[in-house]
Structure 1
Amino acid sequence: MNPRLLSIIAAVVLVPVLVIGGIAFGLLAIIGGQAASANAGTGACTVGDAGTALTVTTTGGDSLTLDEKQLANAATIITVGTQAGVPAAGLKVALMTALQESKLRMLANSTVPASLDYPHEGVGSDHDSVNMFQQRPHWGKLADLMDARYAVRAFFGGPNGPNGGSPRGLLDIKGWDTMPPGQAAQRVQVSAFPDAYDQWEGAAETIINSMSGSISCDSGQVIGQAAYPLSPGYNMTSGYGPRDIDVPGASTWHTAIDLQHWPNNCNDPVYAILPGTVTVSTELWLSIRHPDGFIVSYLHMYKSQRLVDVGDEIQAGQQIGVTGNVQPSGGCHLDLRINKNGTTNSAVAALQEATDLGAPAMYAGYVDPEEFLRLYGIEVCPPDSCRRP
């Protein structure tokens, strides 16, 4: 994948790094070139070369060259899907569907004149269907259907989808993951041409593979697959360091950062920022030890709502639970903290720890999560989208 294609994908928000056939993955940060985080460093980064456009082929041998907008729509499907915990098999079904229905274009409809008032990449005329999945009015309001992210969420459905199970999205269909992907697509779309989706299976796989290329950088940063802990749009409600707080039992020297969506701050998917092994799962704490020895902890998730347990091997971006309000807490949020004790990673070991800043000795080894994540090219609270206390 070249830097131009990288910038197309990054413009959607973030790009997931996928493991085909894997479990639920959240958003993985991409760094380098035009897609670099504002504070991610200045070293040049390169990725595998896939060209500025991507050509895919149907099983019948027909070729389709995807342009920037089509690639951006594909990236939206992948991003929103992984954010919702959809495995790669489901992403493939969605891509196959959008390729067949619209060639991955957001379509307005000449029979729905109001749809022409929304941004679109073509005009269709099939009944009253719109967007890249050709969804009809029972899928949602027109303003929602002409929003690519909503359209993707509706296609996937599931317990957190906007459909409430009707019409059924992919995740609402029992056994979808055991069906041939074309059949699964048909179960969602109920098309008059039920076999048409099959021809796009290889094309969908090509798209997924092209968007999961490795990234290498020549800067001094620690480079790896690192994920944001929550979906975009959260704010920081408490920072790292001394603080005044009136929550009973809460620490006055905060060795973490608190993140929260508002007003929907409860039951918000929480994603592992880095890979590792779960070593602690108590009522309050969930801790994951990275292969480099440091420990990342996620606090306040209800244990009954966690998706992992002690001994589980975790991947970056994998959903591990949802935000909760386990005490001491003043409301549902994620407390994210990192302890560098025992690390073999020299860059992490060099980070200033809390006790150097006057924290009690019991907080030895804890480091500023923002500084830590910058080593991986992530600005966890970017000024253009994240408010600070």
Structure 2
Amino acid sequence: MDVLTSIGAWAAQQGASWLVRNRGRIAALVGILAAGAFLVGAGIGASVSGQGSDEQARATCRAMGFTVANSPGGAEGGYVPAPVNAAPAIPEGGLVDGFGPGENEQIAVAQAIVAAGTAAGVGTRGMTVAIAAALQESGLRQLDYGDRDSLGPFQQRPSQGWGTPEQVTDANFAARAFFGGANSPHFDAARGTASPGGLIEVVGWEQMPVTVAAQKVQRSAFPNAYAKHEVRATRIVAALTGGAPIPTLLPADSTGTGGSSDAAIVTAENYRASGFDIDGFCAANTANPSALMSGGETIPAGAWTAPLASLITSEFGMRLHPIHHVWKLHEGTDFAAAVGTPLRAASDGVVKKVTWYGGGGLIVAVEHAGGVETWFLHLSQVVVAPGDAVAGGQVIALSGNSGTGTGPHFHLETHVGGVPVDPVQFMRERGVELTGGAP
């Protein structure tokens, strides 16, 4: 461990020195490199893939009373589209395994993270969590911009107490803050904990899937997005630590079970608290989720019905976006809905697409007669596939919290000739009231 500590300290020093010498070049390159970054709502499609995480989630489903299928999306399963940007290709040909040519800045940031992880005693597992988080948030870069005041490799926010802009854009400082514990710049000796808390402050993080552990610290609007970086993060950590697994220095009263068997169960509450839609994941992986289709009654051909009877929480029209804080058109109507609430086709039609749609998360669009389409956004699951004919009143999806939003809800859009129109007025003209109801 003394040798690793020395290597880590040297790596941090070299990384910091490189960043200082090349800060001007980095700033010029950041804009170009950022153009390719595109974050999407992960929902259950990205789920908790990689190194047994899927099986760990299924173990939680079994503990919740679900009968879990052998594989997701089987003949009986619901339709889940391939996640956008899932498992991106791992660069080759760089100075360190897992990096491409010219990625010296990224290597330096990764070295600083490994050095901080070594000092924090989080072992290979903790370093992998941190590298995966930084790959998602910044591509392992020292970004001087981000959503609102998010900055640095982990997109930490000065307004939330993570440090000054200069501090959180420093890889060593940011990594120590991410890991937390006694080595964190935010450690309070009197309380014995860091605030804001890092990975070490997350109880049981050692047994959590990488994406869940990362989300516990990051609290991202895309809680499952870290999963797709786990394989690359594992390779990077192995390359920078010599390949030998480094154990986590657990407290004396800790008992890590590890593995992916049912004995290593992360509770449903752990998943929900992290933002992962375990209920939707379980529904997508049960032996017979098609039973969802039996709910409700179909309506006469060509008639219209409300997809959901619930309270309206945000109407169609111009508004100040609650997340991005820009004045723009809200192209649909939001309804109060807990994750997993059944949603019904508004009328007969054909499923046009099921996909990931940026801030809208997992969506389903149904094409109806007369050039009309209805779009359901922020879903946790879709139980129909593109090309399916659906009847009005048929359950076609479950509400969720995928994509960008302030919490679980159902967003309904109606498009006429490709143009979004007010769903409430549209349905009212067809004898259906969307206002009112109980959430």
With the shorter chain as reference, the TM-score category is 0.3 to 0.5
Structure index of larger Rg: 2
- What TM-score do the two structures reach when normalised by structure 2? 0.33
- What TM-score do the two structures reach when normalised by structure 1? 0.37
Larger fraction in helix: 2
